[in-house]
Amino acid sequence: MSKNIIVLLLLALSGLGLNAQNKTSEFSELLEKYKIKPSVGFQMWTTYTDGMEVYNAATETYEVAENRLNTQLRRTRLGVKGQPFEDLSFNFTAALDLVGKDLLSATEAGGNNGSSPTFRVWNAFVQWRLLPKKEYAHLVAGYQVLPIGRESITSALRSTSMEKSWSQNYLRRHLTGIGPGRAMGLNLGGLFLNEHSNVHFEYNLGVFNPVFEAVNGNSTGLRSSPMIAGRAIIHIGDPESQTFSMNHKINYFGKRKGISLAFAVAEQGRTDLFRQNRALGGDVLLNYGGLNIDGEYYYLSRSSFDLDASPSFATHGRTGYARVSYDLNLPRRMVLEPVAMYSFFRGAMEEGAQSQAQSLKSFAGKDETFDLGANLYWNPDFKISLHYTWRWGDAGTGGEGVTFNNYFQQSGLGAIRRGNWLGLGLVLIV
């Protein structure tokens, strides 16, 4: 009797095993059918900060923080891409950033040090190719970055400097009110490749609804206007891609010989915060053999309402960066890439104009960065970086304790003077 029971149990377990194998096989077929590809990328930093100062409102002086070593999980990207139909694809990406960041380290951005650090949606959109087998028109709908700014539209894990140029942060916050620079919207974009010429054209034109500050950050307020953003690109020589894509990078490791020149503009009308909000400028990317040069320059403006008690006014700023790197081929297909980058923000320098900028939640003063270092690549998806970053700023006539740009302000801390830092970083994408 007991032998019969054992035989029945073995047969049942075999059936479960076969069923599990069938389920696994069905799942694999599903992944293959819909071209579903998961991806994981992360960026780990160890930094040493020198010269960080924190403003003490009681004494109206800056206090020097002790130099410090800080290891943080700077960025994590967990993504799933798929293509259920020939002309329809989707992209979903979650982000886990700044785990372990010490707010008194000089590196940019806030912290995420809770007992259970927070994930957030980074990208969530579908892309529909409107003309089969043609790259002329793609409609992208969902939560996405606005199509303006070379550094903003490039993944941080593909940046060649240790940290992305912080010009992208000024541009993103100016247009969307948040550092990630994402908003729900519709974007129409396309790529025109010319088989008989070395000149190619690409475009993006979108309408978005960033929500800014009203109703706990969930509305533009009683006044509402959409954000319109567009970017036109001319590729001379090799294009950046043979197909239209929302993904961009800087280093093509000698596979591209071409230059991309872009002009972009974004504008939003009346909301409860401003009467008009605008950014316009251009960017460039040159790849030629081992040489990589990229940069951008953008003009930012925001205007107030014309009220009985106060006439209207406008605030202005400029931001941008320039970066150069060169690929040195090493044995075992490794690449050493020396990199230098300069970035800046320049806004109002007089106290009255600075107060006007802050009333519109805009920026003022000067903020400058210089990054110098090198990246060692085992392959394009795995690199180790060693860089030093210098920071300096100018408050103009604003006085002590100002918080109107990233040099003078640290999220979660308040008024500071940001220090310099030496960083050792690792990026891995699988």
Here the tokens at position 319 are: 């931001």
| Residues 6 or more apart in contact with residue 116 via CB below 8 angstroms | none
Outline where DSSP puts E strands in 86-226: 88-95, 120-129, 138-145, 182-192, 199-208
What's the pLDDT at 212? 74
CB 269 within 8 A of CB 218: no
Which residues neighbour 195 within 8 Å (Cβ) at sequence distance 6 or greater?
none
Q: What is the pLDDT of residue 214?
A: 80
Nearest to 364 by CA among 341, 410, 397: 397
- The pLDDT of residue 12 is 57
**Rounded CA gap, 407 and 393, in Å?**
6
Sorted by sequence, the CB contacts under 8 Å of residue 103 that are 6+ apart come out as: 110, 111, 410, 411, 412, 413
CA dist., res. 192 & res. 228, Å (int): 22
Q: Are 204 and 245 in contact (CB under 8 A)?
A: no
**Do the beta carbons of residue 165 and residue 343 sit within 8 Å?**
yes
Q: Tell me, what's the pLDDT at 11?
A: 55
Consecutive sets of 10 residues in the chain, 430 residues long: mean pLDDT of each? Answer: 54 58 68 87 98 96 97 97 95 96 95 88 97 96 97 97 97 95 97 95 97 81 94 98 95 97 97 96 97 98 85 95 98 97 98 96 98 98 98 95 97 96 98
pLDDT attached to residue 307:
77
Between CA 138 and CA 134 the distance in angstroms is 9
DSSP, collapsed to helix, strand or coil, labels residue 147 as: coil
Query: Which residue type sits at 195?
Result: E
Tokens of 206: 């979108």
The CA distance from 251 to 158, in Å, is 8
> Which pLDDT does position 217 carry in this prediction?
78
Q: What is the pLDDT of residue 15?
A: 61
Per-chain mean pLDDT for the chain = 93
Neighbours of 380 (CB within 10 A): 14
* Beta strand segments in 130-247, E: 138-145, 182-192, 199-208, 227-237
